[in-house]
Amino acid sequence: MLPSKFLSSTVLSALSFARIDARRPPAWIAAIAATVVATLLPLDVPPGLPGSSVAAVVLGGLLAVAAIGAPPRTGSAALDAGWAVARSAWPAVGWAAALLLRGAPQIAAWGCLGAALAGGGLAAVARLRFVPADAAGFVLVAVGVSGALGWWGTAAWEAGRVGAAVAAATMAAGIAAAWAVSTADRGSGTMRHLASHLLTGAAMAGTLTGMVMWLFLFPELARLDLVASLAWFVALAVPAATLGDGVSHATVWRRCERAAPLAPGWPPRVGPGRRRDTLRAPLLAAAILGWPPFVAAAVAGFGGGHAAWSTAIIAGLAVGVLLVFATTALGEAAGLSPDAQQSAALAAVGLAAVVLLRAAAVAIPAPPASLVGGGSRGPNDVEQTDGSCHTSNVAQPHAGLPARFRKGSRSGATAHDMEWTASIPTA
C-alpha cells in the first residue's frame, strides 16, 4: 500500500501540472488526435491484422508520449508520478470523448490503459536522467514491442482481448523494469550515457533479424519487416529531430542559433544545435534501418521476390525522412516549441496508422455470413463459430469449411460464397 503522503503529493502535483498543461499546445494536440483516432478506428478487423483492441493500446501509448513531450526533471518520485498522471490524462480525455461519439467502451478503455501505461513508463525512464529524445525513444520502442506481442497474441489465441492484454502486460513489465533500473542506478548516470547506444544497437539488431527472417527465410511475411522498419524509424527519428537533448532545443539557444549566420561554402557547415539535430537524426535513422533491405534487394538483383518489399522499405524510409524535415521546418516557421512539434508528428503517425488499418480492413474480404455460425469469438471479439474463420487452418485453408464450401465443391454454395473461397490462398 502506498504511503498517504506520497499519494497526496502525487494528487497535488497532478492538479498543478494539469493547470499548466491547459496552456500547452501538445496537450490539446494529443487530446484532439485521440478523439479522431478513436472515432476512426475500425471495430471489425479481418484475421491477419492486429485487432482493434491491440491498436487502441498502442495508439493510446503513442499519443501519451505526444502529450508529455520532454519529461520534467523534478528529482521526486511523487512529482514524477504527478506529471505523468496529468499529461497522460489528456489523450485519455480524447478516448473518453470518442466513447460519447461512437459508443465503443472497450476501445476507449484499452486506449486509456495504453495512455496510462506509457505515461508511467516515461516517468520511470525520466528518473534515469535520459535526455528527452532518448526517454521518448525508449517508450516508443516499448509501445512498438507491446503492439507486436499483442498482434502475436491475437493470432495465437484468436481473441482480440487476449492480444490487448498481452500488449498491456508487456508495457507494464517495461515500466517495472525501468523503475528497477532507476533504483539500482542511484543517480550515477551510467544508463544516461548508454541510452543512445542501446537504442541504436537495438535498431540494428531488429533490422538484421527482420532481414533474415522476413526477407530471406519467410518472404511471404515481408510486410512485417516494412511495419517494423517504419516503427523503428518513428522511435529513433521523431524524438531526436524534435526534442533533441533538451538543451540545444531550448528557446534561448534557438534564438542564438538563428542569429548566427551559416558559414559560406558547400556543403554548408552546420554547428551544434537544433539545426544539426533536425538534419542528422532522420538521415542517421534511415541509414541504420535502410541498409539491410538494400542488401536484400541487391542480393535478389533488384527484381522479383522479396526485392519488391525491400524497395518498399527503402522508399518508406525516404518518405519518412522528407516528412520529418517538413514537420520540423513548418514547426519552426510557425514558432512551435519542440514539444509541440513532436506532438504534431506523433499525432500524424497515429492518424496514418488508423487510415492504413481501415484501408486494409476494407481491402481484405471478410468471410460471408453463410460460413459463420454462432458460438466462439474471432480475433477481434466478433462472434464467429466456424473453423473457417480461425488462423489454425492456415496450413489447410479449406479444412474447417463444410464440404459444400470447400474450393472445388459447388453444391449448396452461393456465388458470393464461391467467390470468397476462391480468394483464399492455397498452402
Q: Can you give the residue ranges of every domain in the chain?
A: 12-254+271-363, 369-422
Q: What backbone torsions phi and psi does residue 205 show, to the nearest 5 degrees?
A: -65, -40
Residues in contact with 74: Cβ distance below 8 Å, sequence separation at least 6, in sequence order:
80, 83
Residues in contact with 110: Cβ distance below 8 Å, sequence separation at least 6, in sequence order:
53, 54, 56, 57, 60, 164, 168
C-beta separation of 247 from 282 below 8 A = no
**pLDDT top residue among 199 and 398:** 199
In the predicted structure, residue 123 carries a pLDDT above the cut 90: no
384 in helix, strand or coil?
Answer: strand
- The DSSP H or E segment spanning 4 is helix 4-21
Burial per residue of 363-385, b for 16 or more beta-carbon CB atoms within 10 angstroms, e otherwise: eeebbbebbbeeeebbbbbbebe
What value does the mean pLDDT take over residues 98-117?
87
Q: Can you give the pLDDT at residue 198?
A: 86
Give the cell for residue 237.
527519428
Give the residue from 121, 11, 145, 147 showing the smallest Cα distance to 65.
Answer: 121
Q: pLDDT > 70: what percent of the chain?
A: 72
Q: Name the residue type at position 225.
A: D
Q: What backbone torsions phi and psi does residue 377 show, to the nearest 5 degrees?
A: -110, 140
pLDDT band at 197 (very low <50, low <70, confident <90, very high): confident
- If you ran DSSP here, which 8-state letter would residue 404 be given? G
In the predicted structure, residue 314 carries a pLDDT above the cut 90: yes
In the predicted structure, residue 7 carries a pLDDT above the cut 80: no
Give the residue from 112, 91, 94, 92 showing the smallest Cα distance to 102.
Answer: 94
- Whole-number Å distance between alpha carbons of 401 and 82: 54
C-beta separation of 203 from 288 below 8 A = yes
377 in helix, strand or coil?
Answer: strand
**pLDDT top residue among 365 and 337:** 337
Give the residue from 376, 382, 364 showing the smallest Cα distance to 400.
Answer: 376
Q: Can you give the pLDDT at residue 385?
A: 39
